[in-house]
Amino acid sequence: MLECFYPDEYVDSTFEIDFEGMYKKGYRGVIFDIDNTLVPHGAPADERAKKFFTRLNDIGFKVIMLSNNKEPRVKMFCDAVNAPYIYKADKPNPVNYKQAMSILGTDKSNTLFVGDQIFTDVWGANKAEIYSILVKPIHPKEEIQIVLKRYLEKVVLHSYKTHINKKGKN
């Protein structure tokens, strides 16, 4: 029942993902959420983020940001890391996930999505049939509507972890 919300992977941080390994598996494009996935909510791109995008470029990845936020916030971050973006993306609607792949020149078989929210990021990636990686939020300070969703996410994550544990025992 909750499987549509399950990520393909759940990791502590975007910066811990084995992108070299993913590239070897054939992935060529990465769609990222920004807030609490790459930097704290509303924060500008820091040195870690800038170095991270240089690393992804060196590996050979094409990247794009997909955010439900307004253009000034998204543009500020993307200009600093030299990445294209789609703002007011209406996640979890899969339309802009598909538009992002079109911009990257990739498809659902070689594109990853990385985000920190189940009901927008992961669900939308799953609906677009893109490999989804859920990361833990960088910072606990969030807008009230996100705080409320986090309570529901705990239910999904508990179910997901139970599912993964059962799968591992088979």
Alpha helix stretches (DSSP H) within the chain: 19-24, 47-59, 71-81, 95-104, 123-127, 144-169
CATH of the domain at 155: 3.40.50.1000
Structural domain count, the chain: 1
Q: What would the pLDDT profile of 2-33 be if each residue is shown by its tens digit? A: 888 899 999 999 999 999 999 999 999 999 99
**Vertex 12 angle, CA 98 and 136, to 5°:** 65
pTM of the shown model: 0.87
Q: What is the mean pLDDT of the chain?
A: 90
Name the residue range of residue 56's domain. 3-169
Q: Which two tokens stand for residue 52?
A: 């991270």
